[in-house]
């Protein structure tokens, strides 16, 4: 009988694992199981070009049926996983069917944290293609958009909606929202970016309740203010899709718990990839989970390698990387930033049109960086994070590159 | 021999390719990908294909 690798989850982590297995010469069967009936699609454009309507839905397809057939990837779409019989090597699906596996890859991702203010038409989250379609349809009706949560998804959707000409208000309980990720000074610049592009910001204020219906909601805020909105987007984070593992006996702790090779700590032939995976990062000496596109891609390549090289597996020790496009800013974050890390800032958004905030946990070596509109600095930081570099060395490299290049007035 | 090709219009300067295969890819001052070499010997194939596939906007392809 052929060996079988079953991959649960048909988003970027699952698709890339399947493709990378073939690249590594895997000759067994590959079965890719997805809960949605859609062909696998890419999620980053959903808050940008797909929401704006400037990218066709077909352009975000990750794997069509012809490509799957060519690679010998069996697509099983529209099947939600129900559990794993670890001893029996069976993946159980809703409806009673079960798939036998030799290796299993858990890549079920995360779902948008649901609105605590009720679910009804006009109150949206943004995670899936269906979510994007439904929000886009409501944005097309015009009217005020209220975005609750100024994280990446909320901020990107707010920028996209402004680009479509809508009036947009962003609400966040933190006084300086991006200070969650960076520090107050850099966080302040993000607030300025949105305000200078015509977004109204209400920061340091929560939402008590959402009254009314689609087209005429009233958001009652914790500062006593009321805000009218036609449409509401709730962007308050994501939750790993791990509840279906509860009967499996596998260790789950805010994601499925993996060793440094991305194998479950209970069963070495069961692996995890992407947003649902909490693995032992050797260099950080901690179990971490990352909800970013690049991590899913890199982790998928590592898991495919480890499935095909079980005698000589590779530890997964990535340098974190995430990007976000908001208005005319291309924001890129490398490594670990914010928190208690000391930082220096090179450049200024208004003077140079670009900047890099360099962070150091030990006071000497670069531990992370936040970079806006400055590709050469991004590259220097990503290379430096790979080889090791001090903040001072990097500063001496970057400062001479700064020419005053103010942003075009927006 | 397989050849790597870049779509310079699509490139957004994420630099994932440079991190994946620094001997094949670089960025210019505007953050657009520069191919340091285009022919990919079989021994480099998996590494260069993975680097190309790590492009968030699919600006890179390795063709047989």
pLDDT band at residue A183 under the 50/70/90 scheme: confident
Residue A404: what pLDDT?
60
Q: Look at residue A214 and tell me whether its pLDDT is greater than 60.
A: yes
Mean pLDDT over the full length of chain A = 95
Give residue A30's domain range: 4-111+240-308
Q: Look at residue A206 and tell me whether its pLDDT is greater than 80.
A: yes
Both A248 and A105 in one domain: the answer is yes
Element (H, E) at B22: none
A-B Cβ pairs (cutoff 8 Å, strict): 50
How many alpha carbons fall within 13 Å on the CB side of residue A66?
1
Taking the C-alpha atoms of residue A12 and residue A290, their distance in angstroms, rounded to an integer, is 14
Of A155, A147, A133, A203, which is closest to residue A323 (Cα–Cα)?
A: A155
A314 within some domain: no
How many alpha carbons fall within 13 Å on the CB side of residue A206?
6
Q: Over range A318-322, report the average pLDDT.
A: 95
Residue A386: what pLDDT?
87
Chain A residue numbers with beta carbons less than 8 Å from the beta carbon of B31 are 375-376, 378
Q: Which residue do the tokens 């998996």 mark?
A: B46
Beta strands in A149-235 (DSSP E): 168-172, 200-203, 207-213, 216-221, 226-229, 231-234
Residue A405: what pLDDT?
55
Both A35 and A146 in one domain: the answer is no
Residue A406: what pLDDT?
52
CATH number, domain with residue B51: 3.30.70.20
Smallest CA–CA separation between A210 and chain B, in Å? 36
Residue A409: what pLDDT?
44
Residue A410: what pLDDT?
41
Closest CB to A23 among B12, B27, B49: B49
Residue A185: what pLDDT?
86
Both A297 and A218 in one domain: the answer is no
A140 within some domain: yes
Q: Look at residue A396 and tell me whether its pLDDT is greater than 70.
A: yes
Both A48 and A154 in one domain: the answer is no
Closest CB to A24 among B12, B22, B46: B46
Residue A240: what pLDDT?
98
Closest CB to B54 among A297, A319, A383: A297
Q: Over range A303-325, report the average pLDDT.
A: 96
10 Å CB burial of residue A384 (0-12, 13-18, 19+) is buried
Percent of chain A with pLDDT over 70: 98
Asked if A44 lies within 8 A of B56 by C-beta distance, the reply is yes
pLDDT 10s digits, B6-56? 999 999 999 999 999 999 999 998 899 999 999 999 999 999 999 999 999
């Amino acid at each position: 009988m052929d060996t079988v690798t079953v991959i649960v989850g048909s988003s970027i982590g699952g698709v890339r694992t399947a493709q990378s297995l073939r690249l590594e010469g895997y000759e067994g069967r590959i079965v890719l199981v997805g809960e949605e009936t859609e062909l696998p699609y890419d999620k980053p454009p959903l808050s940008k070009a797909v929401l704006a309507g400037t990218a066709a839905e077909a352009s975000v397809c990750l794997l069509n049926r012809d490509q799957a057939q060519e690679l010998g990837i069996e697509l099983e779409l529209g099947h939600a996983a129900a559990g794993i019989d670890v001893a029996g090597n069976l993946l159980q699906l809703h409806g009673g069917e079960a798939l036998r596996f030799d290796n299993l890859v858990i890549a079920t991702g995360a779902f948008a944290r649901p609105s605590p203010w009720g679910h009804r038409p006009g109150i949206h989250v943004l995670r899936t293609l269906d979510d994007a379609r439904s929000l886009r349809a409501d944005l097309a009706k015009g009217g005020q958009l209220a975005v609750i949560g100024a994280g990446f998804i909320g901020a990107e959707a707010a920028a996209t909606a402004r680009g479509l000409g809508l009036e947009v208000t962003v609400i966040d309980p933190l006084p300086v929202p991006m200070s969650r990720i960076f520090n107050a000074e850099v966080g302040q610049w993000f607030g300025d970016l949105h305000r200078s592009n015509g977004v109204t910001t209400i920061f340091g204020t929560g939402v008590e309740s959402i009254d009314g219906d689609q087209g005429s909601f009233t958001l009652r805020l914790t500062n006593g203010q009321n805000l009218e909105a036609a449409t509401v987007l709730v962007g308050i984070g994501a939750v790993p899709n791990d509840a279906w593992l509860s009967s499996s006996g596998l260790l789950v702790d805010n994601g499925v718990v993996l060793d440094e090779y991305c194998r479950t700590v209970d069963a070495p032939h069961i692996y995890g990839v992407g947003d649902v995976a909490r693995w032992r990062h050797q260099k950080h000496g901690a179990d971490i989970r990352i909800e970013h596109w690049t991590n899913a891609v890199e982790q998928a390549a590592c898991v495919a390698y480890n499935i095909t090289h079980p005698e000589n597996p590779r530890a997964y020790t990535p340098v974190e990387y995430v990007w976000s496009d908001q208005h005319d800013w291309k924001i890129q974050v490398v490594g670990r930033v914010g928190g208690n890390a000391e930082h220096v800032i090179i450049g200024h958004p208004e003077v140079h049109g670009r900047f890099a905030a360099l962070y150091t946990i030990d006071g000497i070596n670069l531990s992370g960086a936040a970079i806006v509109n400055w590709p050469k600095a991004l590259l220097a930081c990503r290379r430096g994070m790979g080889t090791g570099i001090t903040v001072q060395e990097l500063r001496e490299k970057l400062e001479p590159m700064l020419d005053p290049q103010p942003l075009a007035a927006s | 021999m397989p050849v790597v090709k870049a779509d310079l219009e699509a490139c957004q300067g994420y630099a994932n390719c440079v991190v994946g295969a620094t001997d094949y890819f670089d960025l210019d001052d505007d953050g657009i990908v520069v191919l340091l070499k285009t022919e990919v010997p079989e021994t480099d194939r998996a590494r260069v294909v993975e680097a190309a596939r790590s492009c968030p906007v699919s600006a890179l392809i390795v063709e047989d």
